[in-house]
A = this chain, B = another copy of it.
Amino acid sequence: MSNYVIGLDYGTNSCRAVLMEIGSPKELAASVFPYPSGELGILVDAEDPHVARQHPQDYVDGMATNIKNVLKDAKSNVPGFSADQVKALGFATTGSTVIPVDENNQPLAFKDEFKDNYNAMAWLWKDHTSSKEAAQITELAAEIRPEYLARCGGTYSSEWFWAKVLHLKNIDPETYNASYSFVELCDFLPAVLTGASDPTAIGRSICAAGHKAMYADSWGGLPDKEFLTELDPALADLRDRLYDKANASDQSAGSVNAEWATELGLAEGTQLAIGAFDAHMGAVGASIKDGSLIKIMGTSTCDLLITEKDQAIEGVCGTVKDSVIPGYIGIEAGQSAVGDLFLWFVNNIVPDSYGADQNEKFKNLTAKAAESKAGQYGLLSLDWNNGNRCVLVDMDLSGLLIGQTLHTKAHEVYRALIEATAFGALKIVNRLVESDVNVEEIICCGGLAQKNALMMQIYANVTNRKIRIAGTEQTCAVGAAIFAAAVAENTSVGELQEQMTVLSDKVFIPEESEVAIYSKLYALYDQLHDSFGVEGTSMSLYYVMKELHAIRKEANNA
């Protein structure tokens, strides 16, 4: 008799579930639940574009709806299926998405007196209101705890746990004081199903703790009280109401209690895996292994790797033991704008001669750009329209396009933008390789990877590495299902990954002549990158336009 698992994936605008048989890559049932609150699920503030909150009720409603849907679907479509064969649930979520809770682990947002207070809601990963606090944390850590900073690439972000909590205390002390503790979304969900009523006792994700809350076993868990006191004595007090130990997602977060089992139609005692971030679980669903860089490509890009060498790497978002695959160091990096860069260009700049709507424009831009070879347009772009996440960790940067003539066409700029994101990707790869991280091949997932073959071929040529594509669009939910299976069957994640993930047949192999031209263009990108992005770099850029011209001539005569 088969055993099944459910992987739950909580994105920015919706959540979903997939049901899989343990040991097989087939997704047998799926359900999507768009968050009903706010704009596309996000509570926004017209006066402050940095505000991004969510209602925790949406998370709970989405969980119930999706689980019921996939069970119903499986009962109809999977011969012999019954719900008690579902052995465990796994949880992939956005993060740092921080929920203020009371001493009973109930979100403040569920209480009448806080139901209209945005500060009592979940603080979504992309809430950027806490930049002042993030800078304060970076500064203090640089001074007295450089080891904390080294682990998160040298700069603490406004998207992360401590910045958000401190900002809440600064702007709304009443809500802060009413918050007994704070839980990440990935920890909140399994805790709900266990019925846990003590936030200090619930399972806590090493992925969330290590990447966003400066947690490491090596220095005794969360940041020490001396450090927190310097930030704000209240944070030192809070430390006692958080957690001492965080765990990998192959560990149990408890099991479904009787009440929820009845409500959902699952067996009481169904196992719950410790949660983790969507990208990290997505990497597992995309067959991550030592030597494979996973690029999760959406509006921005998240890069994941695993390695055995435990070290800090400057300019990457974080290196955390067990955060991706237990036993390995998980490395997270990323690019601030990839899909967003193309969307900006198509929706604001591209003339309608390329098509009447966004889809048509993308199709025709891509087709036209695909007619040319590397260097033929004489253009070069930086990919900084939304700042630079890695390796500069500087949001105060902007875009740059160089080489345009009186004949430059929109599809040429579009190709230059694709290339810019590829150069940005190579910059990260090179930083990793300099730190002895093995990057043999790149596995891309997400809509862009599935749909844009031109882009994937350019990435192969720019990075001079084989590009493979994930075999599913639901890598995060599949990853969550794998961790559920690991908890249910006490099998290693690596072994389950071999059974439960597949890659697409499409493989993009570097083309020698293109690689040669791109290596010249990358040298110019590198000059612009350092000249505009690295303080104290002084150089002459006189040859950049000349070289672009020469490369163009050569490429057109080849």
Task: Report which A residues bind B (CB closer than 8 A).
Answer: 337, 340-341, 343-344, 348-352, 378, 384-386, 396-410, 413, 531-542, 544-546, 548-549
Contact = CB atoms under 8 A, between A and B. Distances in A.
A378 B349 contact: no
A132 to B, nearest CB: 15
A403 B407 contact: no
Nearest to A387: B405
B349 A406 contact: no
B535 A531 contact: no
Contacts of A413: 349
A6 to B, nearest CB: 35
Contacts of A548: 398
Contact of A538 (B534, B540, B546): B540
Contact of A408 (B344, B350, B405, B532): B344
A537 B536 contact: no
A450 B396 CA distance: 40
A298 to B, nearest CB: 14
Nearest to A542: B535
A410 B540 contact: no
> Which residue of A350, A378, A398, A535 has the most chain B CB atoms within 10 A of its CB atom?
A398
A19 B28 CA distance: 87
Given A349-B349, A398-B378, A340 B406 contact: yes
Give the one of A343, A352, A406 with max B CB within 10 A: A406
Among A340, A378, A401, A533, the most chain B Cβ lie within 10 Å of the Cβ of: A401
A54 B545 CA distance: 33
A386 B539 CA distance: 25
A282 to B, nearest CB: 23
A173 to B, nearest CB: 28
A385 B401 CA distance: 12
B398 A403 contact: yes
A238 to B, nearest CB: 33
Nearest to A543: B535
Contacts of A540: 531, 535-538
Nearest to A528: B541
Nearest to A550: B396
Among A337, A404, A533, A536, chain B packs the most CB atoms within 10 A around the CB of: A404
Contacts of A385: 404-406, 408
Contacts of A386: 405-406
Nearest to A546: B396
Contact of A405 (B398, B403, B535): B398
B549 A348 contact: no
B545 A348 contact: no
A542 B407 CA distance: 30
A538 B537 contact: no
A472 to B, nearest CB: 28
A538 B530 CA distance: 13
B549 A542 contact: no
Nearest to A386: B406
Given A352-B352, A399-B401, 14 more contacts: A343-B406, A348-B407, A348-B410, A349-B351, A385-B405, A385-B406, A396-B545, A398-B404, A398-B405, A398-B545, A398-B549, A399-B404, A532-B545, A538-B540
Contacts of A407: 344, 348
A384 B531 CA distance: 20
Nearest to A356: B352
Given A385-B406, A398-B405, A399-B404, A531 B537 contact: no
Contacts of A352: 351-352
A386 B545 CA distance: 12
Contacts of A410: 348-349
B542 A537 contact: yes
23 contacts: A341-B406, A344-B408, A348-B351, A348-B408, A349-B413, A352-B352, A385-B406, A386-B405, A386-B406, A398-B404, A399-B401, A399-B405, A400-B404, A401-B401, A401-B404, A531-B531, A531-B540, A531-B541, A533-B542, A534-B542, A536-B540, A537-B542, A541-B541
A409 B402 CA distance: 18
